[in-house]
Structure 1
Amino acid sequence: MRVYKIATIIVILFNVLACQDIVDDINDNDPNTISSVDGQSLFTGMQLADITAQLGYLNWAAGVWTGNFVGSGRFAPIQEYQYGNTNSDTPWFNIYVGVVQQARELRSGIPVTNKDFFFGASKVLEAHALGTAASMFGDVPFSEAVNADIPTPIYDGQLEVYGNVQTLLDEGIADLQTAATGGGIAEDLFFGGDSSSWIKAAYTLKARLYLEVGDYANAIAAAQSGISLPSESMQYHPPAVVLTGDTNLLNQFFTGSFPDDLTTEGGYLIELMTGAGNRNNAKTDEVDRVAYYFDGTQINLNGIAGVAEPMNLISLQENLLTWAEAAIRSNDFASALGKLNEHRANLRSGEHFAITTGIYDDYVDTDFDAGGIENVDGSLTRDEALLREIIQERYVSFFAELVSFNDLRRTKKDAVAIQVGVPFNTGAQHPERFLYPFSEENTNGANVPDITDIFIKTPVNQ
């Protein structure tokens, strides 16, 4: 793994030809030396790199595989399940150099004011990035990652990395509890230095990772301490400066030089919400969410892809729906239904998009019984019918988020009738992973797992 010590705050641009790039002045000084900067000066750049890793190329490609988008032009190969490993170079760089390298540098002994806050928040960011790396790629470097004395780090097992990330989150939470800062930290783009919000985001991330490995009891326990208010969601709030490209990333893509590379027209998501056999029923009318996502058939450049529209990284929606799914998988129907209805209450109150004529009434137990509105043909048990609705709600709620790709893969273990029925773009398999980057094979080839097929399941999904 080739790593560089970054001397200045990372500035992220989203180059149309490369889909995402870090500008040339990422290292204004010699990239192999450290200039005299304090730790908090690295923090904003770490956040920007994490935003790019979570919401950039991997997210767009995954969206094509999950039926959120249809790919053409540069994304035509992705539409056909063809993936070149050079596509992973920049996301990997953003994760390991942009986030992990700088997080560990921040905690290496350089000067840091508000030390407990920055140590804790940097651990949450590092866990976010490495959790995504493990989920997207499988086995990844952790224990020897970004160590200048180990130019060719080993790859730790995916499940081991999940465990190490949980430990990292626990350490971050402890630091943030000690810090107990309430704001006033300008370097923090997400929460302005509010330790409490970082702690809740960390617990929601813990719940996500526990859900991914099937540890439902711990997922519920973490969600109980997670995000409980919309204002606590970790989001990218674009500055909305069009001339400098500081806008919503979806807006950048769909208004860039190649706007036809992705479309929502013909995708499964829009079909599920508007087509024949759509998900509407007597208690659900998706008209307003549809209008927020789409301006007919294309993505709404004044809605979810608006110039200044916030983008979710770790959200209230995710916490409630993770809690709901973990509860029903633990045979707790009442708690699962309660959390689903709590989420629906937020929808009908307009917390996530404007409500005019949309309907999100509370469900009751009998709606999931044989013959109920969520189990009309009676083919499922009551618990199965509720699980199906929660999984489907996650799918429509996580439009243009990597969580949707995680869900598609891990729910393959469920009965077909419970899964979201995303059709195959070609063949009879959905992609299961991203390929390791060419840059890694070129510099750390002996340690890179020999995987050249995107249809090979990662260990957690086997």
Structure 2
Amino acid sequence: MKRYLIALVCFIAVWSSCSKIVDNINTDPNNPTDADANSMLTSIMVGNMNIQEGDLARFAGMWTGYFRGYTQQYQSYHQYTVITRNFDAAWQRVYSGVYKNIKILKGKATAVNNRRMLGVAQVIEANLLGTATALWGDIPYSEAANDNFANPKFDAQADVYARLQVLLDSAIVNLGSTAFVDFAAQDIHFAGNMTRWIQTANTLKARYFMHVRDYPRALAAAQNGISAQANNFMAPHFATSRGAFNLYFQFLSLDRPNWIDATGMYGVSLVNPAGTRYRGNTKTNERARWNYFYNSATNLNFTVNGFFGQNTFFPLATFGENLLILAEADTRVNGFAAGLTRLNTYRAYMNTGAYITTTYLTTGNWRYDPYVAADFAAGGMENGGTSPIAQDRALLREIIEERYVNFIGQIEGYNDMRRLFKETDVRVPVPLNFGTQFPQRFLYPQFEIDINTSTPNPIPSLFDPTPVNR
């Protein structure tokens, strides 16, 4: 267990000062052997943030049209030239750095009947492994992080999603328990607010039902999901020290300047009022959102108040995502009228300024008026051209495009690309960066291939769809 706690300490170092890391752990701060549950909770949260916001998000963003790998190895990554070694570090962070410690934390919380902390750990576990199975497909889960299994089996992707739903159901029960030991000071997401944790659990349930195209249950879960922007599940960042900075800012501005830009990318052109694919119309003005994400047609906005800025909190699951799950799922389940109402609810939220920093909300810079049915009829503003599609499909296309923009910089945009890959009439038509095939998964890391005899054989290629997307 000692080696995992060392990894845990390394994670917490990116978020807080070194002196605080070792307080009350043991008398040798360079050789920690154990940590109390509250201290572990913060480090696990930081570890999960690193997975959701770090290099995996950058790979996903390059392949989804949000930004371009411009120089050094990122130019090759942009063109889908990756090898198994490129995913070693992230895979080890998922399993040795975070999941192993989640299991230890759950044991500690259970031992003292701290059911609320157990519930929080379960939500983080679901977020962590839900992302992992979405990106890699079949992954170790039931036997993972268990010393009894030297070669943990790879569980089928569908089974992992099913287990995560059970896990989140258990988390919701635990989060509503009155049995707990206070950990508000260590909860960097919600400071012990169980209502917000329960809503986050339901939004994650809805997200994972979307991943497997179970739209009725996605709709049901989202109705209990994140209900306001104030309840967003966010990764906190501050300008107090380098370790607390937004991870995109660290990469774009400090560690690897100019390795990534936005030149020629599809996402830029959709929200750029001067772009060739600008999605604005008489009811929609995207200038404020364009300025928030991109400070020009070629650069991502990592200034202080931009989405990729130094102290900008990073979205892990949000009110906006939940509204758009409701919109897509309700359209698919209950038809056009239900979906249009849901989309207009989202547009009303955007019309308040939503998540866009007030710096960019100047007069005339944003507008999201409600749509009407005629806008999606053949010849309407959202269904024009020489080949109009069915009205309900035109609405679905607009909702999916809105999801695409909403997820700029996030892994979920890449998950949507693959989920909707075969729905050519409604998916976002992001052009390929290179060649004739779109990357359908992340590669299993060489580290796992070398040491785990249970790794799937033959090993899937970059262009093999994950099981739920076949």
TM-score normalized by the length of structure 1: 0.91
**CA, structure 1 residues 393+134, in 2 after alignment: closer, same or farther (shift >3 Å)?**
same
**In structure 2, the residue corresponding to 1:313 is in which secondary structure?**
strand
Select which of 362, 374, 378 maps to 1:370.
Answer: 378
2:461: which partner in 1? Answer: 453
Following superposition, the deviation at residue 330 of structure 1 comes to 1.4
CA distance in 2, matches of 1:3, 1:159: 33
Contact in 2 for aligned 1:181/1:194 (Cα 8 Å): no
- Say which is worse superposed, 428-437 or 353-362, in terms of deviation: 353-362
1:174: which partner in 2? Answer: 173
1:388: which partner in 2? Answer: 397
CA distance in 2, matches of 1:5, 1:182: 24
Following superposition, the deviation at residue 109 of structure 1 comes to 4.3
2:301: which partner in 1? Answer: 300
Q: Does 1:188 align with 2:187?
A: yes
**CA, structure 1 residues 338+439, in 2 after alignment: closer, same or farther (shift >3 Å)?**
same
**In structure 1, the residue corresponding to 2:421 is in which secondary structure?**
helix
Identity percentage over the alignment?
Answer: 36
**CA, structure 1 residues 435+339, in 2 after alignment: closer, same or farther (shift >3 Å)?**
same
Counterparts in 2 of 1:77-226, with a 5 A limit?
A: 77-109=76-108, 115-179=114-178, 185-226=184-225
- Cα deviations by residue, 1:57-86 (Å, 9 ceiling, x for unpaired): 111011110011111222111111111111
**CA, structure 1 residues 118+285, in 2 after alignment: closer, same or farther (shift >3 Å)?**
same
Contact in 1 for aligned 2:206/2:221 (Cα 8 Å): yes
CA distance in 2, matches of 1:308, 1:222: 31
Contact in 1 for aligned 2:87/2:445 (Cα 8 Å): yes
Select which of 337, 346, 367 maps to 1:334.
Answer: 337
Select which of 423, 426, 429 maps to 1:421.
Answer: 429
Contact in 1 for aligned 2:109/2:118 (Cα 8 Å): no
Q: Does 1:256 align with 2:257?
A: no
Question: Structure 1: where are the runs of 5+ without partners?
Answer: 16-22
Select which of 317, 325, 328 maps to 2:328.
Answer: 325
Following superposition, the deviation at residue 337 of structure 1 comes to 1.5
Contact in 2 for aligned 1:103/1:126 (Cα 8 Å): yes
- Cα deviations by residue, 1:107-151 (Å, 9 ceiling, x for unpaired): 224786671111000001001111111100000011101001212
1:62: which partner in 2? Answer: 60
CA distance in 2, matches of 1:29, 1:334: 65
Select which of 33, 39, 42 maps to 1:41.
Answer: 39
- Say which is worse superposed, 104-113 or 345-354, in terms of deviation: 104-113
Contact in 2 for aligned 1:9/1:41 (Cα 8 Å): no
TM-score normalized by the length of structure 2: 0.90
2:280: which partner in 1? Answer: 280
Following superposition, the deviation at residue 13 of structure 1 comes to 8.6
Following superposition, the deviation at residue 271 of structure 1 comes to 1.5
CA distance in 2, matches of 1:43, 1:329: 39
Following superposition, the deviation at residue 156 of structure 1 comes to 0.4
Following superposition, the deviation at residue 195 of structure 1 comes to 0.9
1:442: which partner in 2? Answer: 450
**In structure 2, the residue corresponding to 1:367 is in which secondary structure?**
helix
- Cα deviations by residue, 1:10-55 (Å, 9 ceiling, x for unpaired): 343999xxxxxxx9x999999xx98343222211111111111111
Q: Which runs of 4+ in 1 moved over 4 A?
A: 25-30, 109-114, 180-184
Contact in 1 for aligned 2:376/2:383 (Cα 8 Å): yes
Q: Give the aligned residue type for 1:284.
A: T
CA distance in 1, matches of 2:81, 2:412: 21
- Cα deviations by residue, 1:405-438 (Å, 9 ceiling, x for unpaired): 0001111121x23111100111121100000111
**CA, structure 1 residues 291+158, in 2 after alignment: closer, same or farther (shift >3 Å)?**
same
CA distance in 2, matches of 1:288, 1:28: 50
- Say which is worse superposed, 103-112 or 53-62, in terms of deviation: 103-112
**In structure 1, the residue corresponding to 2:316 is in which secondary structure?**
strand
**CA, structure 1 residues 198+182, in 2 after alignment: closer, same or farther (shift >3 Å)?**
farther
